[in-house]
Structure 1
């Protein structure tokens, strides 16, 4: 075993409890983000709302996920407070799962999903922040594993829900035998709604009753998911007990004090690293920062805004693209595309755990972004091939799977773990996933499904150009910091020592 192997293994053994806890929290995140698409028709029946009304539930979840991501940095001043917030958020997700079957109005359901979305956003930011803080220059490997757990949760959630979904109309009106949609129509609706309702105009032609007797078993799916998620807050609670952060363990000295010192930034400025948006905008902390400092934050955020937007748009609309001309793939066959895409993302993140150890983040990002462009171009060229659409979907998932964790580790490394890059990048990625789905969905609705691949290809080229610009700014930023770092440290150390 090489020296680097021993060092990374030693780091993991030192922080394995915290690491496994953050990984499990991301399983909770994935479990919550993937259930809404398959269950939305049953939830429509439960709330006896129209298809247009129920799609506001998607928006409330996504919007408050962005809010939670942006505010998550406020809860990480110390590791004890971050663990308390993480415990609360993971427990909230289980509570929301348990409460959803009791929401008999679309407004109540939207509020429940807004609360879940906020909790998901906070989990997203805190887990990324704390892993970067723990492992710093070695964080890429552990971030890849962290995002693997999103894929695992996203795979489990639809599997749990599927046995409880209605195969026929779940609101029985007086004339349901004549006008109710067939099971194949309902499956088509479920897959079309995966795009968070952005393509609602294309599917509103199907008759769905809002008045009548509700016959759905989807409540059992949410109660099962609530139970599946309960070990996650239990794991956070166990970590808090081990770190002696609970009242029942207050008679012993806290282990966290020593570990927080060892895991702080190299400069000892633990109070200013990885702050929130508000900490970044503090004029006292911004004084003397070079322009490249802000440009690096903006470029990293823009790249993840686009790439996460591509992931959300592709997962949401590849089914719609497949069932319309020129491909005209059958509804049942096209339904496997979304599953294949998420499965390939999960496999890709598993593979990149090893690759992150062998290769640097810039090389992995170059490989990933170039691969995304090539796959998108080939999908445009072979746009009439059903077989290549499946192959390209799998390869695209493999290529794009590592962009977020690699970009996060790379940007924090460039900024020497002093900025709030994690909060900026996580929020940008969440915002991109929400907004680009709406934009791409609007383009598809107005111009036709054939514009889907063109939009994704253009976005891929833009993201790669921004990455090249990031590499150039990184070079300039490195030279500027090298020239000014001795004087800067001489001025900053007395101030930090006196505080």
Structure 2
């Protein structure tokens, strides 16, 4: 145990500058992903748009996050391109925070969020790729820490915004009266909680008519400027790492540190990482012609599992409030509003706990524990669907169980594929796609079948995810055997024939 401690600590000391930098950019990612839900109503006032119009801002951010994730691998061929992309993207996030208060039309706001979403997607792919490349078989621990920083940023963002959010309507029409204040405040609290889960509950907002014309009174601009300042040390950290690695123009004639200690040299197979790229250009037919079918199946199954589990996270965060305030629970709006915060806090705490768990246990064990735990929690929530107390307990346990699936699956799939394929790009893109698409599907089912179907959809998705994981274990067993055999055959073909032809 001591030897493992010393080895991992030695690895961290060797790469601590890179590691801390990648962790910090994921704090920036979390900061940006969580601010929109709490502030969306104030942004509606700022742009003087309807609720239906402003919720398209959510779609803009999510769609371009998916685009950024899919093309992020293009920037990882060299350390210079990776760090340059991270510096640009983290700086863009600060700039977007700064200019959001200047966007007084919903189209301008959507464009700003699209730019931020693409930057977030690139950050998501590159930071995961580079950490896997640095630590490889030991990457699970550091990936858990990476995703903990996402949760930390997601917790900080709403806390910064909260003091500046409007208590009542932030657009005062000519017929505004004191008597309408309390009802408007209640509606605003209900809407804010409904929209906290990345704007998933779009079907239920038309019943709340709010003013679009009148005097705008909102202080949310200060929240964005504060977040822009909080985020500025992140691009500064990336720039500092580039300075240390002598990647800045002023060092163009100097020998670079990465030349004498290339990150690519850490690969046991000597892979330079050129197989990684955008999700569309990942599979080069010339390079992958001799790969066994299981090679592609592992990519597909790993992506499908994260499609399901990240979709569950997005759906649960988006609709647990709607479920809680609907029959049979009929929970008070203010009380139900805490569910989303508890869910994200438990995910953050779970990722912190799994940093140690990843050191003690293998990725397959952690994934089995997590996916079985998710199923048990979902089934118990279905059984005790009338209990408000158990909904809070189940929300907390669900967050703890599902928190480690993404980093564990990423580390495990890359390990199965010997760090040669496009696993990280495919898995990150699949997770982003699942989070967006499953929310829309679950939202449509809830709208047509009722709020109880929310738990049923999440439970079915949990079973599908676990079945896919069992299939992944079976395929990896076949892949290990076939890949070893094919490698031996390739080695035999490459050896010169001493007897001639």
Bin the TM-score by the shorter chain: over 0.9
Following superposition, the deviation at residue 204 of structure 1 comes to 1.8
- Between the aligned partners of 2:154 and 2:279, the Cα distance in structure 1 is 29
Following superposition, the deviation at residue 249 of structure 1 comes to 2.9
- Give the corresponding residue for 2:116: 116
User: What TM-score results when the alignment is normalised by the length of structure 1?
Assistant: 0.97
**Distance 1:313-1:278 versus aligned 2 partners, 3 A rule:** closer
- Give the corresponding residue for 1:7: 7
Question: Does the Cα contact within 8 Å between 1:192 and 1:319 map onto a contact in 2?
Answer: yes
Unpaired stretches in structure 1, ≥5 consecutive residues: 495-499
**Distance 1:385-1:493 versus aligned 2 partners, 3 A rule:** farther
Question: Does the Cα contact within 8 Å between 1:273 and 1:417 map onto a contact in 2?
Answer: no
Q: 3-state DSSP class of the match of 2:322?
A: helix
Following superposition, the deviation at residue 43 of structure 1 comes to 0.2
- Give the corresponding residue for 2:44: 44
Q: Does 1:218 align with 2:220?
A: yes
Question: Does the Cα contact within 8 Å between 1:195 and 1:437 map onto a contact in 2?
Answer: no
- Give the corresponding residue for 2:437: 435
- Give the corresponding residue for 1:363: 365
Instruction: Tell which deviates more after alignment, 332-341 or 170-179.
Output: 170-179
Following superposition, the deviation at residue 285 of structure 1 comes to 1.5
Unpaired stretches in structure 2, ≥5 consecutive residues: 497-501
Instruction: Note the aligned Cα RMSD (angstroms).
Output: 1.5
| Partner deviation per Cα, 1:435-488 (whole Å, 9 max, x = no partner) | 111111111111111111000000000000000000000000000011121233
**Count of aligned pairs between the two proteins:** 494
- Between the aligned partners of 1:165 and 1:361, the Cα distance in structure 2 is 42
- Give the corresponding residue for 1:171: 171
- Give the corresponding residue for 2:74: 74
**Distance 1:43-1:152 versus aligned 2 partners, 3 A rule:** same
Following superposition, the deviation at residue 205 of structure 1 comes to 1.4
- Give the corresponding residue for 1:87: 87
Following superposition, the deviation at residue 196 of structure 1 comes to 3.5
| Partner deviation per Cα, 1:91-114 (whole Å, 9 max, x = no partner) | 000000000000000000000000
The 5 Å alignment of 1:172-191 reads 172-177=172-177, 181-191=183-193
- Between the aligned partners of 1:307 and 1:395, the Cα distance in structure 2 is 15
- Give the corresponding residue for 1:282: 284
User: What TM-score results when the alignment is normalised by the length of structure 2?
Assistant: 0.96
Instruction: Tell which deviates more after alignment, 478-487 or 136-145.
Output: 478-487
**Distance 1:198-1:262 versus aligned 2 partners, 3 A rule:** closer
Question: Does the Cα contact within 8 Å between 1:296 and 1:411 map onto a contact in 2?
Answer: yes
- Between the aligned partners of 1:271 and 1:158, the Cα distance in structure 2 is 37
Q: 3-state DSSP class of the match of 1:182?
A: helix
- Give the corresponding residue for 2:21: 21
- Between the aligned partners of 2:265 and 2:9, the Cα distance in structure 1 is 16
- Between the aligned partners of 1:271 and 1:189, the Cα distance in structure 2 is 46
Following superposition, the deviation at residue 491 of structure 1 comes to 5.7
| Partner deviation per Cα, 1:49-92 (whole Å, 9 max, x = no partner) | 00000010000000000000000011111111100010000000
Following superposition, the deviation at residue 274 of structure 1 comes to 3.1
- Between the aligned partners of 1:405 and 1:489, the Cα distance in structure 2 is 34
- Between the aligned partners of 2:241 and 2:72, the Cα distance in structure 1 is 20
Instruction: Tell which deviates more after alignment, 246-255 or 49-58.
Output: 246-255
**Distance 1:491-1:259 versus aligned 2 partners, 3 A rule:** farther
| Partner deviation per Cα, 1:333-361 (whole Å, 9 max, x = no partner) | 11111111011001100000000000000
Following superposition, the deviation at residue 256 of structure 1 comes to 1.2
- Give the corresponding residue for 1:404: 406
Following superposition, the deviation at residue 185 of structure 1 comes to 1.4
Question: Does the Cα contact within 8 Å between 2:45 and 2:212 map onto a contact in 1?
Answer: yes
Following superposition, the deviation at residue 259 of structure 1 comes to 2.3
| Partner deviation per Cα, 1:182-204 (whole Å, 9 max, x = no partner) | 21211110011124334233232
Question: Does the Cα contact within 8 Å between 2:294 and 2:479 map onto a contact in 1?
Answer: yes
**Distance 1:267-1:208 versus aligned 2 partners, 3 A rule:** same
Question: Does the Cα contact within 8 Å between 1:302 and 1:428 map onto a contact in 2?
Answer: yes
- Between the aligned partners of 1:243 and 1:23, the Cα distance in structure 2 is 18
- Give the corresponding residue for 2:333: 331
Q: 3-state DSSP class of the match of 1:327?
A: coil
- Between the aligned partners of 1:12 and 1:370, the Cα distance in structure 2 is 32
Question: Does the Cα contact within 8 Å between 1:194 and 1:317 map onto a contact in 2?
Answer: no
The 5 Å alignment of 1:335-414 reads 335-414=337-416
Question: Does the Cα contact within 8 Å between 2:72 and 2:277 map onto a contact in 1?
Answer: no
Q: 3-state DSSP class of the match of 1:15?
A: helix
Q: 3-state DSSP class of the match of 1:288?
A: coil
Following superposition, the deviation at residue 265 of structure 1 comes to 2.3
Question: Does the Cα contact within 8 Å between 1:275 and 1:420 map onto a contact in 2?
Answer: yes
